């Protein structure tokens, strides 16, 4: 199986970390009799040779040897080898790994090599190893370019297979086959759809029927039953009953490799999770059906089904705007059970929901009052943070979080993110101000952890606009020594706090003027304007930042925002702002256009409106800024009210991301909707 391996000039090939001269050892390691060595080799293949899904010349050179490994019965863990081959073939392509060019040349060559060796996968679909049989069908569909043969093999294997997990992958591969060939009108695709329809009903078992329904939803939704949701919920419960009283437990110990850790971190009911994820994904914008399905899952007697439902809900809420009251209340109810993994899933989702978590707030409150150890999370590294249940309760805006946060403040350590939840409590957090003030007054001025201790407190006091904290803020601002770690970040947080206090911070005027020429100059200018109302002292600095803000990425946009709030008093900045609307990043162009409109009071049909409309459409991250500008303008903002109306009727979130990369996406979208509603509720708004 390694014939010719030493004839390859591996040293001249590359992987993610340089020379590929170590690759022959990795390939041999995949065939080792030692489990740890095999897992380490597979770990390294993914980490270097196929790093982040990429294909290098060394990856391409590995394909023949990986194919040879996959068919040798004496090689253990061949399923992992087949999965690696499928992943390599999928690099740089879509679902069906279409060939590309240019930068994807190596990936296209890898797919061509897999097609040339596709007879390997014909053999493997009937392998004695169930793990190999689970991995092989997807490769067969992707790389064997003989549709009749592929369909015949899948049909045959479905008939004779007795392993339920292999049957599920065969069904999924049948759906993949149908999606691949339906666009061309291939008669074999229609046969595959018919087979899926048959598999979705009796006498097949509930797991197989669920898998078939998920595939039908993707390739032939017209064949789904009219009572889809009740059917799926019933099948799900039947499947759970067959599985028995399985618990949410991690797998036993194994080799401490990436592959081993990933295996242990998979859901206990990985197949169930995949089945429901496929169905939810296929249903897409059928949000009412998806919510009803979630509620059915969340009331299942099986905690595994409920845990899967919690994770499914996260994807739905991130992507679609819908009434979440019922599912969120059901999610919160899961906090009353003792299953660790289910509990962790619930908290992770509720933390991300912010104000939408209110229907679960009773359960969160009961948890943080009944289990004090959950209030602060002490990690192995880094500063302590608020425990998830308390963070979720505060982010939801529930006033009952205030006395609990007061107890945390009275403790020995202030979590570094405490200040970030205060704004969500609004005036309900006002009773915390004296404790925050006292803690700030005791922060050491030159300690190694001054930043970690001061910034959360300053953020909280900023949100509260607590005028009585001015002396404590000034003590910090004036007393920090030069050279203090992250001194600039602490100074900027202090300046923002003073700005939030307005005229009550009059004794800070000299300090703020002294900071205008520093790295926190824009924040100082904003604060000075807030305290004094004098534009002449800050406009020159802000004007310079528009054109000389390259030292800090966000400084030009921040300066434009402040100038816009100054209104007509910032007219001297108009030429620079108009130039800025034509260059730079979208956020800078939008900020400049908003500033011009707020300063002049005119929409400037030839420049401002086109910039804002283009930014709104092409760069959704700018929408909150633009909507805020329109809201501040009142009736004058009417030329863009059509954008706000369209936003309010859109079913999708403005930065829809069901992948979970943005933990604040839901909150920011709900904020955008509030701003749009507020703007349109004003006179002339619609």
DSSP string, 22-35: THHHHHHHHT-S-H
* Higher-pLDDT residue of 399, 94: 399
The CA distance from 444 to 449, in Å, is 8
DSSP string, 69-129: HHT-TTSS-HHHHHHHHHHHHHTTS-TT-----GGGHHHHHHHHHHHHTTHHHHHHTT-S-
According to DSSP, the β-strands at 18-19 and 376-377 are: unpaired
For the segment 575-582, the average pLDDT, to the nearest whole number, is 95
Token pair 């020379």 in the structure block, residue:
19
Q: Is the pLDDT of residue 553 over 70?
A: no
Q: Is the pLDDT of residue 483 over 60?
A: yes
Q: What is the pLDDT of residue 245?
A: 44
Residue 4: Cβ-neighbour burial (10 angstroms; 0-12, 13-18, 19+): exposed
Tell me the Cα Rg of the chain: 30
Residues in the chain: 686
Q: What is the pLDDT of residue 155?
A: 97
The CA distance from 295 to 272, in Å, is 16
For the segment 25-37, the average pLDDT, to the nearest whole number, is 95
List strand residue ranges (DSSP E) for 375-473, in order: 376-377, 385-386
Q: Token digits for 363?
A: 């359960």
Q: What is the pLDDT of residue 551?
A: 52
Residue 13 is given by DSSP the state: S
CB of 588 within 8 A of CB of 568? no
The CA distance from 283 to 46, in Å, is 32
Task: List pLDDT tens digits, range 206-217.
Answer: 999 999 999 999
DSSP string, 498-557: HHHTGGGGGGGHHHHHHTTTSTTHHHHHHHHHHHH--STTTHHHHHHHHHHGGGSTTHHH
Q: Token digits for 666?
A: 């839901």
Q: How far from chain centre, in Å, is Cα 193?
A: 34
What is the number of other CB atoms lying within 10 angstroms of the CB of residue 339?
18
Token pair 């505060």 in the structure block, residue:
394
Which residues are CB-contacts of 129 (< 8 A; sequence separation ≥ 6)?
A: 73, 78, 79
What is the number of other CB atoms lying within 10 angstroms of the CB of residue 605?
9
- Give 15's strand partners: 18
- Give 615's strand partners: none
Q: Is the pLDDT of residue 660 over 70?
A: no
Q: Is the pLDDT of residue 62 over 50?
A: yes
The CA distance from 322 to 12, in Å, is 55
CB of 578 within 8 A of CB of 592? yes
Lowest mean pLDDT of 107-116, 268-277, 414-423, 616-625, name the range. 268-277
Q: What is the pLDDT of residue 264?
A: 41
pTM comes to 0.86
Q: Is the pLDDT of residue 261 over 60?
A: no
Q: Is the pLDDT of residue 658 over 50?
A: no
Best-predicted range by mean pLDDT among 93-107, 261-275, 533-547? 533-547
Q: What is the pLDDT of residue 582?
A: 93
* Higher-pLDDT residue of 337, 135: 135
Task: List pLDDT tens digits, range 91-114.
Answer: 765 556 554 444 468 999 999 999
Average pLDDT, the chain: 90
Q: What is the pLDDT of residue 338?
A: 64
Q: What is the pLDDT of residue 251?
A: 39
Q: Token digits for 472?
A: 């404590």
The CA distance from 157 to 134, in Å, is 11
Q: What is the pLDDT of residue 262?
A: 44
- Give 385's strand partners: 377
Q: How far from chain centre, in Å, is Cα 145?
A: 36
Q: How far from chain centre, in Å, is Cα 72?
A: 40
According to DSSP, the β-strands at 14-15 and 376-377 are: unpaired
Which residues are CB-contacts of 94 (< 8 A; sequence separation ≥ 6)?
A: none
Task: List pLDDT tens digits, range 603-626.
Answer: 888 889 999 999 999 999 999 999
Q: Is the pLDDT of residue 266 over 50?
A: no
Lowest mean pLDDT of 23-37, 433-447, 502-516, 546-560, name the range. 546-560
CB of 464 within 8 A of CB of 433? yes
Q: Is the pLDDT of residue 255 over 90?
A: no
Q: Is the pLDDT of residue 197 over 70?
A: yes
Q: What is the pLDDT of residue 257?
A: 53
- Give the pLDDT band of residue 379 (cuts 50, 70, 90): confident
Q: Is the pLDDT of residue 432 over 90?
A: yes
Q: Is the pLDDT of residue 527 over 80?
A: yes
| Best CA proximity match to 456, nearest among 407, 490, 405, 504 | 490
Q: Is the pLDDT of residue 463 over 60?
A: yes
The CA distance from 287 to 229, in Å, is 12
CB of 632 within 8 A of CB of 607? no
- What is the distance in angstroms between the CA of the first residue and the CA of the last residue of the chain? 73
Token pair 């993914």 in the structure block, residue:
46
Return the sign of the alpha-carbon dihedral for residues 169, 172, 176, 181: positive
CA distances (Å), origin 570, targets 495, 538, 560, 561, 597: 21, 9, 10, 11, 12
The CA distance from 465 to 442, in Å, is 20
């Amino acid at each position: 199986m390694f014939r010719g391996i030493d004839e390859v000039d591996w040293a001249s090939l590359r992987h993610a970390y340089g020379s590929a001269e170590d690759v022959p050892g990795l390939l041999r390691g995949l065939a080792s009799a030692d489990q740890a060595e095999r897992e380490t080799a597979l770990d390294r293949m993914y980490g270097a040779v196929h790093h982040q899904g990429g294909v290098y010349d060394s990856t391409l050179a590995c394909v023949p040897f990986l194919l040879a490994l996959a068919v040798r019965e004496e090689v253990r863990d061949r399923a992992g080898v087949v999965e690696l081959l499928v992943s390599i073939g999928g690099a740089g392509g879509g679902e069906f790994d279409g060939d590309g060019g240019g930068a994807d040349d190596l990936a296209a060559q890898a797919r061509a090599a897999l097609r040339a060796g596709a007879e390997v996968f014909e053999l493997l679909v009937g392998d004695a190893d169930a793990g190999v049989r689970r991995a092989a069908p997807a490769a067969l569909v992707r790389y064997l370019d003989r549709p009749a043969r592929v369909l015949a093999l899948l049909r045959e294997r479905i008939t004779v297979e007795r392993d339920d997990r292999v049957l599920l992958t065969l069904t999924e591969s049948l759906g993949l086959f149908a999606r691949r060939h339906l666009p061309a009108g291939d008669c074999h695709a229609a046969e595959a759809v018919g087979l899926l329809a048959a598999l979705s009903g009796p006498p097949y078992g509930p797991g197989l029927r669920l898998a078939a329904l998920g595939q039908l939803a993707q390739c032939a939704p017209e064949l789904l039953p009219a009572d889809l949701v009740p059917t799926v919920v019933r099948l799900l419960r039947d499947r759970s009953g067959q599985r028995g009283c399985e618990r949410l437990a991690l797998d036993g110990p194994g080799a401490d490799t990436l592959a081993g850790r990933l295996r242990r971190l998979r859901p206990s009911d990985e197949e169930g999770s995949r089945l429901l994820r496929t169905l939810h994904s296929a249903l897409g914008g059928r949000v009412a059906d998806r919510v009803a399905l979630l509620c059915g899952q969340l009331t299942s007697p099986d905690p595994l089904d409920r845990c899967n439902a919690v994770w499914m809900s996260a994807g739905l809420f991130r992507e679609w705007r819908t009434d979440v009251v019922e599912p969120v209340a059901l999610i919160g109810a899961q906090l009353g059970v003792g299953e660790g993994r289910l509990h962790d899933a619930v908290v992770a989702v509720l933390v991300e929901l912010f104000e939408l978590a209110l229907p679960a707030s009773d359960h969160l409150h009961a948890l943080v009052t009944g289990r004090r150890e959950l209030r602060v999370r002490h990690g192995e590294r880094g500063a302590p943070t608020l425990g998830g249940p308390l963070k979720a309760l505060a982010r939801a805006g529930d006033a009952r979080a205030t006395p609990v946060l007061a107890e945390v403040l009275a403790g020995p350590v202030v979590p570094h993110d405490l200040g970030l939840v205060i704004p969500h409590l609004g005036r309900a957090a006002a009773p915390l101000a004296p404790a925050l003030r006292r803690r700030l007054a005791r922060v050491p001025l030159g300690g190694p952890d001054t930043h970690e201790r001061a910034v959360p407190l300053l953020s909280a006091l900023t949100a509260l606009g607590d005028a009585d904290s001015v002396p404590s803020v000034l003590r910090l601002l004036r007393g920090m020594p030069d050279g203090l770690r992250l001194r600039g970040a602490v100074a900027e947080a202090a300046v923002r706090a003073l700005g939030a206090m307005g005229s009550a911070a009059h004794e800070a005027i000299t300090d703020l003027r002294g900071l205008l020429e520093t790295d926190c100059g824009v924040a100082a200018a904003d604060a000075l304007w807030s305290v004094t109302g004098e534009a002449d002292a800050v406009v020159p600095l802000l004007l310079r930042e528009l054109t000389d803000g390259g030292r800090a990425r966000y400084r030009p946009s921040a300066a434009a925002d402040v100038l816009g709030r100054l209104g007509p008093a910032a007219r001297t900045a108009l030429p620079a702002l108009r130039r800025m609307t034509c260059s730079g990043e979208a956020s800078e162009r939008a900020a400049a256009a908003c500033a011009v409109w707020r300063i002049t009071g005119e929409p400037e049909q030839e420049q401002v409106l086109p910039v804002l409309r283009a930014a709104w459409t092409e760069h959704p991250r700018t929408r909150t800024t633009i909507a805020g500008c329109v809201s501040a303008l009142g009736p004058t903002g009417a030329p863009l009210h059509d954008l706000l109306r369209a936003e309010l009727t859109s079913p999708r979130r403005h930065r829809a991301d069901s992948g979970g990369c943005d933990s604040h996406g839901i909150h920011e979208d709900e904020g955008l909707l509030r701003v749009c509603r507020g703007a349109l509720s004003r006179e002339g708004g619609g």
